[in-house]
C-alpha cells in the first residue's frame, strides 16, 4: 500500500451519484464528485436507465479527480473502489451486458399485487421471514421480477442476467458478476437463514439461478480488479481493488461504525426521500414487520423503511406556500403524509390523510403535523427494530443509547426538533454528511488492505458528531398520531 493511499467510495442513490475520495490512513474526505440522475414514471412507476448510473459514476469520479488534482494528488494514489447502491432495484441485461429496459426502482409500487400473491403462495408472512428474514412488499426485487414476468414477458424471457443496481456498477468496474449478502438479502430470493440463494424461492418466481451474480462473503471482499476499459473510462489506474460493495443502508451502517467490530444494537435513523431505521446485530431478525437484512460485515441489519419522509413533507410545505422550516407543532391536527402509498405500514395504495382541522388551525401547524406524521411512522418502526435486536425499547438502558440521525433531514432544524421531541431519546448527529460514501470507502480500503471495514470506519471517526441530550417525550402527540397510523394500517 503506497503512502497517502486513496480509495473511492461510490454512493449511487435514487437521485444522484457521489464519489468520495478518502485518505486510507486518516479517513479524511479529500474530494467528493457529484452527478445527478433522472427518474421517470407516474401512477406508481419509478424507473431509470442503468446506463445513466454508469455515466453518472464516470462524471462523479471525473469531478472528484479534478478536486484531487487541486490538492496535488495524482490518480495513481487511488488503490481501491467500492459501490454502495440503492437497494432492491431490478436490472435485466442482455448477453452483451446492456440493459433490456429501464431499471424498476425500489420505490416503484406497481408490483404490490405480485408481492401480496407471493406472500400467500409461500404460506404467509411467517413462512417468508423464516427463510429470508423479510416479507415481500412492492419494494422487494422478487415482486418486481414477478411483475416483469406478468406484464413484460418478452423482457423477462430475454434476460441473460439479473442484477441489483450496485451489482450492475460493480460488474462494469471489474467484469465480475458479484454481489454481497447485504444487498442480496433485499431481493427475497436470498436466504439469511442459509446465507445463500434459496432454490425453492427461485423456483417460485421462475428465476434461473445462473442469471444471478455470485454472492461474496462480505461487502469488503475483493471480487476483482478495475478492468482496463473501466480504468480508461474513469481515468483511474487499471488493476486497483474492486470490492463486492453493498446496499446503501448497509454502507451507512459501516460508515457509522455499526457492526461486529464496532457498535451492536445501537439504532440509526436516516431522514431522506425515505425514512429508514436500522441497527447492526448478531441476532438474526425474523419479524414480519421488518426487513431482516444481512449487514455488509457478516452481522445482521434489521431495518424498517417508510416511503414518505423529507420529500413528502417538502411537498406539503410547497402546497401551503411555506418554507420547510416555517413549521409549528401540529396541535390537534394529524397529517399522515402517505403521498406515494406506504411501505411501513404496508399500504401501497394509501394517500395522504388529514384530520383535526379547526378554524384556528394555521398553515404552520398543518406543516408541523406533516413532520409529526412522518416522524411517528418511522419511530414506531424503530421500536420493532429494537425488539428484533433482542432489546426492549422501553428499557431505560436501551432508551438511553443515542439515536444516530443521518440523511438530509438531519440538517433541518425542525426535523431534528420533531424527532427529539417524539422519541424522547438523546440524538447524535454525525459531522459527516456522506456516510454511505464513507462506508463504501471503508469497504474499498478493506478490499485493498484486508482490514475490517467497520473497525476502519470506527478509527476514522466517521460516526462522531454533535450530541443532543434527551428531552421529555411528547406523549400526547405520539399517542394521537400513533392512533391514526394504527387506524390507517387496519384499513
> What are the residue numbers of the active site?
248
The helix-helix angle for 435-449 and 453-460 (nearest 10°) equals: 120
Written in H, E and C, the secondary structure of the chain is CCCCCEEEEEEECCCEEEEEEEECCCCCEEEEEEEECCCECCCCCCEECHHHHHHHHHHHHHHHHHHHHHCCCCHHHEEEEEEEECCCCEEEECCCCCECCCEECCCCCCCHHHHHHHHHHHCCHHHHHHHCCECCCCCCHHHHHHHHHHHCHHHHHHCCEEECHHHHHHHHHHCCCEECHHHHCCCCCEECCCCEECHHHHHHCCCCHHHCCEECCCCCCEEEECCHHHHHHHCCCCCCEEECCEEHHHHHHHHCCECCCCECCCCEEEECCCEEEECCECCCCCCCCCEEEECCCCCEEEEEEECCCHHHHHHHHHHHCCCCCCCCCCCCCEEECCECEECCCCECCCCCEEECCCCCCCHHHHHHHHHHHHHHHHHHHHHHHHHHCCCCCCCHHHHCCCEEEECHHHHCHHHHHHHHHHHCCCEEEECCCCHHHHHHHHHHHHHHHCCCHHHHHHHHCCCCEEEECCCCCCHHHHHHHHHHHHHHHHC
Residue located via cell numbers 480504468: 231
In whole angstroms, how large is the CA radius of gyration of the chain?
Answer: 21
Tell me whether residue 114 is annotated as binding: no
Phi, psi of 307 (to 5 degrees): -70, -35
User: How many residues in the chain?
Assistant: 491
Count of C-beta atoms within a 10 Å radius of residue 76 = 11
Q: Find the Cα–Cα–Cα–Cα dihedral 49, 51, 54, 55, rounded to 10°.
A: -100
What the block records as the C-alpha cell of 379 is 419511530
Tell me whether residue 266 is annotated as binding: no
**Residues within the annotated binding site for substrate?**
87-88
Amino acid at each position: 500500500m503506497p503512502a497517502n493511499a486513496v480509495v473511492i467510495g461510490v454512493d449511487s442513490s435514487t437521485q444522484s451519484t457521489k464519489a468520495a475520495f478518502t485518505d486510507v490512513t486518516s479517513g479524511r474526505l479529500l474530494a467528493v464528485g457529484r452527478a445527478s440522475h433522472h427518474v421517470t414514471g407516474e401512477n406508481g412507476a419509478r424507473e431509470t436507465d442503468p446506463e445513466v448510473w454508469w455515466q453518472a459514476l464516470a462524471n462523479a469520479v471525473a469531478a472528484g479527480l479534478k478536486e484531487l488534482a487541486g490538492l496535488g494528488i495524482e490518480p495513481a494514489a487511488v488503490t481501491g473502489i467500492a459501490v454502495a447502491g440503492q437497494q432492491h432495484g431490478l436490472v435485466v441485461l442482455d448477453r452483451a451486458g446492456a440493459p433490456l429496459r429501464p431499471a424498476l426502482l425500489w420505490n416503484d409500487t406497481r408490483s404490490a399485487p405480485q408481492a401480496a400473491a407471493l406472500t400467500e403462495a409461500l404460506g404467509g408472512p411467517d413462512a417468508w421471514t423464516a427463510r429470508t428474514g423479510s416479507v415481500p412488499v412492492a419494494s422487494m426485487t422478487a415482486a418486481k421480477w414477478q411483475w416483469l414476468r406478468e406484464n413484460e414477458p418478452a423482457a423477462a424471457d430475454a434476460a441473460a442476467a439479473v442484477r441489483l443496481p450496485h451489482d450492475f456498477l460493480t460488474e462494469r468496474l471489474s467484469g465480475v458478476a458479484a454481489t454481497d449478502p447485504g444487498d442480496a438479502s433485499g431481493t427475497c430470493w436470498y436466504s439469511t437463514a442459509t446465507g445463500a440463494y434459496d432454490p425453492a424461492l427461485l423456483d417460485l418466481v421462475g428465476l434461473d439461478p445462473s442469471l444471478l451474480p455470485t454472492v461474496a462473503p462480505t461487502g469488503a471482499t475483493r471480487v476483482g480488479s478495475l478492468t482496463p476499459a473501466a480504468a480508461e473510462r474513469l481515468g483511474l489506474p487499471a488493476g486497483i481493488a474492486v470490492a463486492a460493495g453493498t446496499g446503501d443502508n448497509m454502507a451507512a451502517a459501516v460508515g457509522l461504525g455499526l457492526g461486529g467490530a464496532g457498535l451492536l444494537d445501537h439504532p440509526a435513523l436516516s431522514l431522506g426521500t425515505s425514512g429508514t431505521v436500522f441497527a447492526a446485530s448478531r441476532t438474526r431478525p425474523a419479524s414480519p414487520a421488518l426487513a431482516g437484512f444481512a449487514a455488509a460485515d457478516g452481522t445482521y441489519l434489521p431495518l424498517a423503511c417508510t416511503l414518505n419522509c423529507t420529500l413528502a413533507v417538502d411537498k406539503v410545505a410547497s402546497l401551503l406556500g411555506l418554507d420547510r422550516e416555517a413549521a409549528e407543532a401540529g396541535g390537534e391536527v394529524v397529517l399522515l403524509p402517505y403521498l406515494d402509498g406506504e411501505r411501513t405500514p404496508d399500504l401501497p395504495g394509501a394517500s395522504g390523510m388529514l384530520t383535526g382541522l379547526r378554524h384556528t388551525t394555521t398553515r404552520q401547524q398543518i406543516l408541523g403535523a406533516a413532520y409529526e406524521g412522518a416522524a411517528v411512522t418511522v419511530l414506531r418502526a424503530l421500536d420493532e427494530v429494537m425488539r428484533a435486536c433482542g432489546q426492549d425499547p422501553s428499557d431505560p438502558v436501551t432508551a438511553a443509547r443515542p439515536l444516530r440521525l443521518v440523511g438530509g433531514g438531519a440538517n433541518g432544524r425542525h426535523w431534528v426538533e420533531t424527532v427529539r421531541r417524539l422519541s424522547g431519546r438523546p440524538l447524535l448527529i454525525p459531522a459527516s454528511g456522506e456516510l454511505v460514501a464513507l462506508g463504501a470507502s471503508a469497504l474499498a480500503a478493506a478490499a485493498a488492505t484486508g482490514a475490517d471495514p467497520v473497525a476502519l470506519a470506527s478509527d476514522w471517526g466517521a460516526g462522531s458528531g454533535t450530541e443532543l441530550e434527551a428531552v421529555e417525550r411528547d406523549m400526547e402527540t405520539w399517542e394521537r398520531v400513533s392512533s391514526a397510523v394504527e387506524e390507517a394500517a387496519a384499513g
